[in-house]
Amino acid sequence: MRARRAGAVAVALAIALGTAGCGDGPLPPSTAPVAEGSEVSSQRYLADADAVAAEIRAFSDLLEDIGPVARPARLREIAPDLAAALQRADAIADRLEAQRLADARLEAQRAEASPVLADIVAAMVDVTTRAAAGEPVPTVAAIEDFRDAVGRLRELGGTAAAG
């Protein structure tokens, strides 16, 4: 079930960000800052979209490792790994938000998905902060917010696939 949910996140993100079946070849992921409004190649954009999807998947996989009951000690134990995935996702989401593309279709998808990615990162911050504090009830609530934000991204993916 965890793999299916993580896979669904990746597919939704790929569709929402236009990565499905595009590009001339993969570029390595990057977390280097991009100046606001910088035009990037479609390949760079697609590599960044793939990279942020991977970090969201990694974060989601870590949440599954919490277990059926969120316990303070386990939350504190997993918090550094959550923070690492969060830091990478945040840097890449910032890149995606700052980028601009000459391809109008990809640019429209990027512009539509960027605020949702910001919501996902904000939820990741909340989950990580609550987990580090060893707070089970607020952590579970924050996980639900994370899942809701990912669901909104999936909805964008359905819209992009239909369009």
With tokens 């993969």, the residue in question is 26
Are 18 and 105 in contact, with CB atoms under 8 Å apart?
yes
CA dihedral sign of residues 10, 150, 145, 34: positive
Domain-located, residue 36: no
Residue 51, in any domain of the structure: yes
In a domain, 30, yes or no: no
As a whole number, mean pLDDT of residues 132-154 equals 96
Q: Which residues span the domain enclosing 11?
A: 2-24+41-162
Closest CA to 112 of 65, 49, 68: 49
pLDDT given for residue 61 in this prediction = 96
pLDDT: which is higher, 163 or 141? 141
Q: Has residue 34 been placed in a domain?
A: no
**Pair 153, 113: CB distance under 8 Å:** yes
Tell me how crowded residue 94 is: count the other CB atoms within 10 A of its CB.
19
d(CA 16, CA 141): 26
In a domain, 67, yes or no: yes
Mean pLDDT across the stretch 123-145?
97
In this structure, is residue 125 part of a structural domain?
Answer: yes
CA distance 86 to 67: 20
What's the number of domains the chain is made of? 1
Q: What is the DSSP letter of 70?
A: -
Structural domain includes residue 29: no
**Amino acid 11: pLDDT:** 41
Cα atoms found within 13 Å of the Cα of residue 110, Cβ hemisphere only: 29
At residue 13, the pLDDT reads 55
Tens-digit pLDDT profile for residues 48-57: 999 999 999 9
Within-domain flag for 31: no
Task: Provide the CA 153 distance to its chain's centre, in angstroms.
Answer: 9
**Distance spanning both ends of the chain, measured CA to CA:** 29
